[in-house]
Amino acid sequence: MHFSALTAFVALAAASPLAFPQNAGSGGNTRSNSCDVTSEPKAVRGSGAVPVLDDCNKMRDQIQNGGNAWTITGPAELGKFGTCRFVVTTVTGGEKAFVGVDDVKDLIGTAVHSWTQALQDGSAGPTSYQGTITQQVGVEANVPCDSAAASGARQVEIKWSIEHSK
C-alpha cells in the first residue's frame, strides 16, 4: 500500500479535535480566553501560495504572549511559523478588543480542522474558471471578543484568518 505525504497529513489532521474557543467571552479574563464562539470558517480562494498546515499546527503550539491577551485596534499578526501566519483585525475600525492566548490557539485549531475537512472532501483543491486556476489559500471567520475599552458584557467583532506568511 502506498501513502503520499499529503494523505498521511490529512489523516493525522483529521484525528485532531475541532477546537472552538472555550470561553463565552465577556468574563473579563484578559489573560487567556476573551472571545466567544467563532462563526463557521470560510475558505479563502486565490492563486497565491498555500501555507503548510503542519506549520500552522506548530505555530499554534508555540503561541504565547507572556500569558497576556493582545489588545487589537486594527490589523495585527499574532503568530507566524514557517509558511503560516495568524492575523486579526477589528471589523469596525477604531474599536479595541482583547484576544487571549487560548483564543488564538483555539482559532488556529479550528482553521486547521476546517481546512483538513476541505482537503478530504476535495473542495480545497484547484479549480479553473475562464482560464484562471484557484485553490484554497487561507481560512477566515469572525469572532466576538471582549472590548478593551468598556467593562461588562460589551464585545467587539474580530475578523481572523490563517494564510501564507509570504
pLDDT of residue 133: 87
The secondary structure of residue 53, as a DSSP letter, is: H
pLDDT of residue 149: 81
The CB-side HSE value for 87 (13 A sphere, CA atoms) comes to 16
pLDDT of residue 106: 96
pLDDT of residue 31: 57
Q: Distances in Å between the alpha carbon of 128 and those of 48, 132, 134?
A: 14, 5, 6
Rounded to an integer, what distance in angstroms lies between the CA atom of residue 148 and that of residue 156? 9
Check if the beta carbon of residue 124 is closer than 8 Å to that of residue 118: yes
Check if the beta carbon of residue 160 is closer than 8 Å to that of residue 60: no
Residue 131 in grid coordinates: 482560464
pLDDT beneath 50, residues of the chain: 1-22, 24, 26-27, 29-30
Give residues with Cβ within 8 angstroms of 31, minimum separation 6.
67, 68, 69, 100, 101
pLDDT of residue 80: 96
Question: pLDDT of 103-143, one tens digit each?
Answer: 999 999 999 999 999 999 988 888 888 888 889 999 999 99
